[in-house]
């Protein structure tokens, strides 16, 4: 047992000795480094280390929570006493408590999450990668005149958890990433775009050259963009924009929002909400996924939950507290850091891919809009109303033609799900959400 795992156990046991009926210690240790460059020089280099422990106690159904980054034994003892005092002063709630023992089964084998290569990357790797990306972008097109940001980084994290419900465990993970955001200009028109890649393992990361080219291409192709006339037409979202749409659906599948009737999906469990080719999963077990872990923030084993299967709404996401409220079981979706109490969060979200290529999806459209960037958080998961500013390329006779900007795409999430008539085979992960190119049969575009 590592020193930190032993410490988490010791904190939990001391809390029980000092009067808690149930106790939990959630300990995190991490380090990260990020570099940004400008004109071949380092603009910003940050390195940070962090460690801390969150202590959650329950005294007669009353909750107390404290956190600290000071692991001195005397300070920890004082903090445990404070957590118990806070619990004694708080209002009792019969739903409070750690996950039930039947939820704390054996952990699944989620495979490797830690890459020695990422943990031991030489400091100059980030600098070289960022400078290479900047060079590639500048050489791509003379109309690229500036950079918003170009950089690279990595992080290493460890989690240790001990609870009085009999759970004790730990895991380590790494991540490494590249990002680029160039600015293109022509005849007074400015266009900024971006691209990035983030992976757990160095060998899975895209090359600096490919990230740079993608970012540059996305900025340049929007030059000269204009509005279009307001109309109803087919809308295609590229995989990054589709991932945002899927995240909105997962947000509406939050068990607490559903319980409070503040989700447009609240009354739809078991009902058809999309065509049969739509399957959305929350996959905490995905191999090498950025949000993969053996257990959630409360020690409950992670799992694969089908939210939508064959177009039918199959499940909502829960942590222990909200599951008790809804008289159901936790889905292993308690998300947290050491400074926060558990709350519901998605793991790796995946829209299962279809069979058509993006080109085939576009080819079938006589008149439509291919969206590559969106502005604002325009999805209201309570009412289902959806309205977002959008930029992209107009589709005419199955071809991408002129660039478009300053228009709004509007609809209702209920209708949009039913109108989702094509899913591409180009599954792309941006962070922990994976989606392909998707097409909606008809939405409203508001322009001129």
Tell me what pLDDT residue 342 has.
96
Question: What pLDDT digit, counting tens, does each position of 369-428 carry?
Answer: 999 999 877 799 999 999 999 999 999 999 999 999 999 999 999 999 999 999 999 999
CA 442, 228, 378: angle at the middle one, nearest 5? 60
- Reported as a pLDDT band with limits 50, 70 and 90, residue 102 is confident
Q: SS in 3 state form for 348-383?
A: EEEECCCCECHHHHHHCCCEEEEEEEEECCCECCCC
- Considering only CA atoms, give the Rg of the chain: 24
Question: What pLDDT digit, counting tens, does each position of 337-365 carry?
Answer: 999 999 999 999 999 999 999 999 999 99
Residue spans of the domains in the chain: they are: 3-30+48-103, 116-220, 225-448
Whether the per-residue pLDDT at 35 is higher than 80: the answer is yes
Distance CA 104, CA 342 (A): 16
Q: SS in 3 state form for 293-349?
A: CCECCCCCECCEEEEEECCEECCCECCHHHHHHCCCCCCCCEECCCCCCCEECCCEE
Tell me what pLDDT residue 104 has.
87
Tell me what pLDDT residue 200 has.
97
Question: What pLDDT digit, counting tens, does each position of 212-245 carry?
Answer: 999 999 999 999 999 999 999 999 999 999 999 9
pTM of the model: 0.94
Question: What pLDDT digit, counting tens, does each position of 129-142 carry?
Answer: 999 999 999 999 99
Q: Tell which residue, 155, 211, 153, 204, has the closest CA to residue 180.
A: 211
Tell me what pLDDT residue 103 has.
87
Tell me what pLDDT residue 1 has.
62
Q: In what side-by-side order are the strands of the sheet with 433-435? A: 312-313, 304-309, 280-283, 348-351, 433-435, 428-430
Domains 3-30+48-103 and 116-220 share a fold: yes
- The pLDDT > 90 percentage for the chain reads 94
425-432 mean pLDDT:
94
User: How many C-beta atoms surround the C-beta of residue 163 within 10 A?
Assistant: 22
Q: Which CATH superfamily is domain 116-220 in?
A: PmbA/TldD superfamily (3.30.2290.10)
Domain 3-30+48-103 belongs to what architecture? 2-Layer Sandwich (3.30)
Tell me what pLDDT residue 105 has.
84
Tell me what pLDDT residue 2 has.
80
């Amino acid at each position: 047992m590592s020193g930190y795992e032993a410490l988490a156990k010791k904190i939990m046991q001391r809390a029980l000795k000092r009067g808690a009926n149930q106790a939990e210690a959630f300990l995190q240790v991490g380090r990260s480094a990020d570099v940004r460059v400008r004109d071949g020089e380092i603009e910003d280099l940050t390195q940070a280390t962090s460690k801390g422990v969150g202590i959650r106690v329950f005294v007669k159904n009353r909750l107390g929570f404290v956190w600290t980054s000071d692991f001195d034994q005397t300070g920890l003892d004082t903090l445990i006493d404070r957590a118990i005092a806070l619990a004694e002063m708080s209002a009792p709630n019969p739903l409070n408590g750690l996950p039930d023992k039947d939820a704390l089964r054996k952990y699944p084998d989620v495979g490797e999450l830690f890459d020695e290569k990422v943990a031991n990357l030489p400091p100059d790797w980030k600098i070289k990668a960022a400078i290479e990306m900047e060079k590639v972008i500048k050489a791509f097109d003379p109309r690229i005149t500036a950079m918003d940001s170009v950089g690279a980084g990595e992080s290493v994290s460890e989690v240790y958890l001990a609870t009085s419900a009999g759970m004790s465990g730990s895991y380590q993970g790494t991540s490494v990433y590249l990002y680029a955001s160039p600015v293109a200009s022509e005849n007074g028109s400015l266009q900024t775009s971006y691209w990035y890649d983030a992976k757990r393992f160095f060998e899975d990361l895209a090359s600096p050259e490919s990230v740079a080219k993608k970012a540059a291409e996305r900025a340049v192709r929007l030059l000269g963009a204009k509005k279009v006339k307001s109309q109803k037409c087919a809308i295609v979202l590229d995989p990054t924009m589709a991932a945002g749409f899927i995240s909105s659906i997962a947000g509406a599948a939050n068990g607490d929002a559903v319980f409070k009737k503040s989700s447009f999906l609240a009354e739809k469990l078991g009902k058809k909400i999309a065509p049969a080719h739509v399957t959305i999963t929350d996959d905490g077990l995905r191999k090498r996924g950025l949000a993969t872990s053996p257990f959630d923030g409360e020690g409950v084993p992670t799992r694969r939950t089908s939210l939508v299967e064959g177009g039918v709404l199959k499940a909502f996401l829960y942590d222990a507290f909200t599951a008790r409220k809804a008289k159901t079981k936790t889905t292993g979706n308690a998300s947290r850091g050491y400074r926060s109490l558990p709350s519901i969060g998605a793991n790796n979200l995946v829209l299962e891919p279809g069979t058509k290529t993006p080109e085939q999806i576009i080819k079938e459209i006589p008149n439509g809009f291919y969206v590559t960037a969106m502005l604002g958080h325009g999805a209201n998961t309570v009412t289902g109303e959806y309205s977002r500013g959008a930029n992209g390329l107009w589709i005419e006779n199955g071809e991408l033609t002129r660039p478009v900007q300053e228009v709004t795409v509007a609809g209702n999430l209920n209708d949009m799900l039913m109108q989702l008539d094509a899913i591409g085979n180009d599954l792309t992960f941006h962070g922990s959400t994976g989606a392909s190119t998707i097409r909606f049969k008809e939405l409203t575009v508001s322009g001129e």
